[in-house]
Amino acid sequence: MEALIIVDVQNDFCPDGALAVQEGDAVVEPINELASRFPLVVATRDWHPADHGSFAERGGPWPVHCVQGTSGAELHPEIDRSRIDLVVDKGQAPDREGYSGFEDTGLERLLRERGVQTVHVAGLALDYCVRATALDARRAGFEVVVHRDATRAVNVEPGDDERAVSELEAAGARVV
């Protein structure tokens, strides 16, 4: 049993969003294509309270983004909702990072209940939430495939994307 996890393809991470990833919306088309190939598709959303600790005004590294219930926190409008079986909201604890779709969400249990052995990962951003989600999936014992053409990176430091790929491969994930 294989599942696709679509990580955080939300308006705030796409061009004109509060924390836009360069070419973030370029992942939409390959993700819609991928989603048609898997029997179980889960979409995660970064879903922060208004006072989340990752925001600069609270000493965190990021501008305010993906606040619960705002349009910026919604999935990109061109993501094919009809292919998504479940939406998992993450990053809800004010003082926890919440990069990973497995952090405080019950996603691991949900995948096990469905008999999932292999997890495919795509979305935003490669060097943060895709990386953290894929690494946690490996730690939980799943086979992991990261679809690089269906991701984009923030690249706060040049080369963060390549470092993320190396780290994922070292952890036993396949990057295709």
Please confirm, yes or no, whether 14 is among the known catalytic residues. no
12 counts as binding Zn ion under rule CB under 5 A: no
Pick 54 or 142: Cβ nearer Zn ion: 54
Is residue 46 part of the contact set for Zn ion (CB under 5 A)?
yes
The one catalytic residue among 46, 66, 129, 136: 129
**Binding span for Zn ion by CB under 5 A among 71-79, 86-94, 104-112, 143-151:** 86-94
Both tokens assigned to 170: 């070292």
Neighbours of 96 (CB within 10 A): 14
Nearer to Zn ion, 116 or 124 (CB): 124
For residue 161, state whether it binds Zn ion (rule: CB under 5 A).
no
Find out whether 90 and 123 touch, Cβ atoms under 8 Å.
no
Stretch that binds Zn ion, among 24-32, 42-50, 115-123, 151-159 (CB under 5 A): 42-50
Q: What crossing angle do the helices spanning 160-170 and 131-139 adopt, rounded to 10°? A: 10
Q: Are 43 and 88 in contact (CB under 8 A)?
A: yes
Nearer to Zn ion (CB atom), residue 17 or residue 91: 91
> E strands of 8-164, at which residues?
40-46, 86-90, 118-124, 143-152
| Residue at 56: amino acid letter | A
Q: Which residues are catalytic?
A: 8, 90, 129
The residues binding Zn ion (CB under 5 A) are 46, 91
